Amino acid sequence: MQAVLERELVEQQWTKEQQEVDLCLDVTDLSIFYGPKQAVKNVSMPIKRHSITALIGPSGCGKSTFLRSINRMNDGIKGFKAEGNILYDDVNLLDANIDPVALRKEIGMVFQRPNPFPNSILKNLTLPLKEHGLKSKAKREEYAETYLKQVGLWDEVKDRLHESALSLSGGQQQRLCIARTLAIQPSVLLLDEPASALDPIATAKIEELLLKLKEKYTIVLVTHNLQQAARVADDTAFFYQGEIVEFTDTKTFFQSPKEKRSEDYISGRFG
Amino acid sequence: MQRRKLADKTATVVLTMFAAIIVIILTALLGYVLSLGIQQVNWDFLTSKSSSFRAGGGIQDQLFNSFYILLWTMIFTIPLGLAGGIYMAEYAKDNRITAFIRICIETLASLPSIVLGMFGLLIFVNATGMGYSILAGALTLTIFNLPIMIRTCENALRAVPLELKEGGLALGYTHWRTITRVLLPSAFPSILTGIILSCGLVFGEAAALLYSAGMTTPKLDFGNLNPFASDSPLNIMRPAETLSVHIWKVNSEGIIPDLRDVADGGAAVLVTVILIFNISARVFGSWLHKKLTAK
């Protein structure tokens, strides 16, 4: 009895805290279906502005599906259906009137495998800018430099800007992809296991970069790497079989998880 | 263990043997055609007009006709094939209509070319009243070539990694811009290779042209570049006997005394041109691929 009361108290405090913080995305009662299969079940998640929120959980738990529905990348999948709300500036992103093309300029995404276009390093940045109507070539190249510097790639590539982006290493390619996403000036960054294909050094660079970027951007990060979540995330959500088992600040999650399943997962007993 | 190793070795030997057989057949065929024909081929043979009953005729007009019909065929085929391939790869929903379209394309691809030639005769030559002409021939060859082109483009687009496409979409490209800015450039080497390969196929085609482009060529004046003049080589409304049709005709109903020589020489030229197409498809394709992916 005592325990239940205490827990309620904690939960109340939690909700109170929530109301005070500045939310960037407020997901409520989100359910996602692929045909008859429900991939995400009634998930609610307040995502704070200028913070890193990590989504963890075993493969197939729905965390990537959840992430990809924020910028509507699942729209093209056959049988896909989403219910609930993803509020962003009081607008429901799942609304049929939302133009996914415009939305994706606002909410950028970086993928698991680095996916630079088979053009030069410079063009990987300037082409999307051109696409979004930046007419001046000099301006585009200036932007390219700015964002290559921001991801710490400029010094490595400044002498070979016209070489193919595919000649870069995996880690460099991934930072290029992040720069390319930043260049079109989103306010939210969605990252789908951005470092899982990279070696530890490249991974460390990406993590360092994410910590720097959260000053300006709201970051949602899907990761398989628990240490990574512990190192960079402010909040952590543990997904299991389409549900959120636990969502709390990262420190609490890793040091004193409330749920038995979270504890089991962290200590490697399943997943 | 022993048996598994033996099976592995046997498989290697047998498969290498089959590969060798294919190579032998090809080299024997090419060697035969080229060795017979090469001594007939000289500059004079390539640049003189064919003769109807005297010896010593060349293949100038036929060679030109082959390339000219090929050009027009590609002018029709490439945009149609690209459009069809883009539709099939990117827009067609996975439903019955698409399945039906696919069956149509496959059937079209397996139609014997002589049947297409007859279709060309009925529709382009007779029904539209344009008569035996380069245009009728090119349109017939377009139907002949279109299914291959659609499939080439579709496969090339589908082979582009999904991450690239999603990369484009995630950057706020529209579907159409993702196709033109991301998918098509990435698929371009394969598409180009496919186009050049099908050039070889079209260049050598005879049956589809017998009754569409016809088996005769008017007297051509290569100095006359007015495409509306009846003796201009550029006129697309004139009949045009291509090289492969010429070989067939000389062989089956020719009355020139040196018909064997002309046929052999023509065949050697034909095979050489097709070889050039095939080799350049490989070279060009891998060069482009390298250029796009590495330095």
Mutate to test the interface with A, among B171, B290, B293 (most CBs of A within 10 A): B171
Bigger pLDDT: A18 vs B129: B129
The pLDDT value recorded for residue B295 is 46
Residue in A116, A117, A184 nearest the CB of B172: A184
Question: Can you give the CATH number for the domain in which A13 is found?
Answer: 3.40.50.300
Alpha carbons B147 and B111: distance in angstroms, whole number: 10
Give A116's contacts in chain B (Cβ within 8 Å): 167
How many domains does one find in chain B?
Answer: 1
Instruction: Let me know if residue A55 belongs to a domain.
Output: yes
Q: Classify residue B284: in a domain, yes or no.
A: yes
Q: Please give the structure tokens belonging to residue B146.
A: 């279109």
List of chain A residues whose C-beta atoms are within 8 Å of the C-beta of residue B181: 117, 127, 131
Comparing alpha-carbon positions, the chain A residue that sits nearest to B293 is: A166
Contact B170 A111 (CB under 8 A): yes
Q: What is the average per-residue pLDDT within B105-121?
A: 94
Q: Do B181 and A177 touch (CB under 8 A)?
A: no
Q: Which 3 state secondary structure label does DSSP give B274?
A: helix
Decide if B257 contacts B191 (C-beta within 8 A).
Answer: no
Which pLDDT belongs to residue A22? 87
Q: What is the pLDDT of residue A14?
A: 56
Mean pLDDT, range A27-38, rounded to an integer: 93
Residue A119 with chain B: CB contacts under 8 Å = 185
pLDDT higher than threshold 60 for residue A10: no
pLDDT at residue B87 tops 80: yes
Candidate from A101, A117, A164 with C-beta closest to B182? A117
**Could you tell me if residue B89 is inside a domain?**
yes
Domain range for B151:
41-293
Mean pLDDT value across chain B: 93
Chain B CB contacts of A105 under 8 Å are 171-172
Is B217 contained in some domain?
A: yes
DSSP-derived secondary structure letter, B95 = S
Decide if A232 contacts A212 (C-beta within 8 A): no
- How many folded domains does chain A comprise? 1
SS3 for chain A is CHHHHHHHHHHHHHHHHHHHCCEEEEEEEEEEEECCEEEEEEEEEEEECCCEEEEECCCCCCHHHHHHHHCCCCCCCCCEEEEEEEEECCEECCCCCCCHHHHHHHEEEECCCCCCCCCEHHHHHHHHHHHCCCCCHHHHHHHHHHHHHHCCCHHHHCCCCCCEHHHCCHHHHHHHHHHHHHHCCCCEEEEECCCCCCCHHHHHHHHHHHHHHCCCCEEEEECCCHHHHHHHCCEEEEEECCEEEEEEEHHHHHHCCCCHHHHHHHCCCCC
Residue A151 lies in a domain: yes
Q: Does B83 touch chain A (CB under 8 A)?
A: no
On whether residue B270 sits in a domain, the answer given is yes
Residue B50, token pair as written in the block = 């064919």
Within 10 angstroms of residue B9's Cβ, the number of other Cβ atoms is 10
**CA B221, B225, B229, B234 torsion-angle sign:** positive
A with B: how many residue pairs have Cβ under 8 Å apart? 72
Q: What is the pLDDT of residue A11?
A: 59
pLDDT in tens, B229-268: 888 999 999 999 999 999 999 988 888 888 889 999 999 9
Residue A189 exposure: Cα atoms within 13 Å on the Cβ side: 30
SS3 state of residue B144? helix
Segment B222-234 shows an average pLDDT of 89
- Is A70 among the domain residues? yes
CB-nearest to B293 from A73, A113, A166 is A166
**Residue A1 — very low, low, confident or very high, per pLDDT cuts 50/70/90?**
low
Q: Rounded to whole angstroms, how far apart are CA atoms A40 and A34?
A: 10
With the C-alpha atoms ordered B230, B231, B236, B238, is the resulting torsion angle positive or negative?
positive
Name the residue in chain A with its Cα closest to that of B95: A78
Question: Is residue A169 very low, low, confident or very high in pLDDT (cuts 50, 70, 90)?
Answer: very high
Q: State residue A8's pLDDT score.
A: 62
CATH of the domain at B230: 1.10.3720.10
Instruction: Compute the average pLDDT of residues B44-70.
Output: 90
Environment class of residue B108 by beta-carbon count within 10 Å: exposed (0-12), middle (13-18) or buried (19+)?
Answer: middle
What's the pLDDT band for B57 if we cut at 50, 70, 90? confident
Output the pLDDT for position A4.
Answer: 58
Residue B23 lies in a domain: no
Distance of CA B271 to the CA centre of its chain: 13
> Two tokens at B240?
């045009």
Residue A271 in any domain: the answer is no
As a whole number of angstroms, the distance between CA A152 and CA A114 comes to 16
Q: Are B171 and B255 in contact (CB under 8 A)?
A: no
**How does residue B174 score in pLDDT terms, banded at 50, 70 and 90?**
very high
Q: Confirm whether A143 is domain-assigned.
A: yes
Mean pLDDT of the region A248-256 = 93
pLDDT tens-place string over residues B40-50: 899 999 998 98
Average pLDDT for A244-265: 92
What does the block give as tokens for A68?
Answer: 């990809």
| Lowest mean pLDDT across A3-12, A60-69, A89-98, A223-232 | A3-12
For residue A135, being part of any structural domain is answered with: yes
Nearest to A104 among B94, B172, B294 (CB): B172
**A63 found inside a domain:** yes
Structure tokens at A232: 């960079």
Closest CA to A234 of A217, A216, A214: A214
Sort residue B131 into left (φ over 0), alpha (ψ -120 to 50) or beta: left
Nearest CB partner across the interface for A181, out of B161, B171, B181: B171
Q: Picking from A100-104, A146-150, A263-267, B130-134, which range would have the lowest pLDDT averaged per residue? A: A263-267
Enumerate the residues of chain A whose CB falls inside 8 A of the CB of residue B177.
131
Distance CA B188, CA B85 (A): 13
In a domain, A8, yes or no: yes
Domain encompassing residue A179:
2-94+102-266
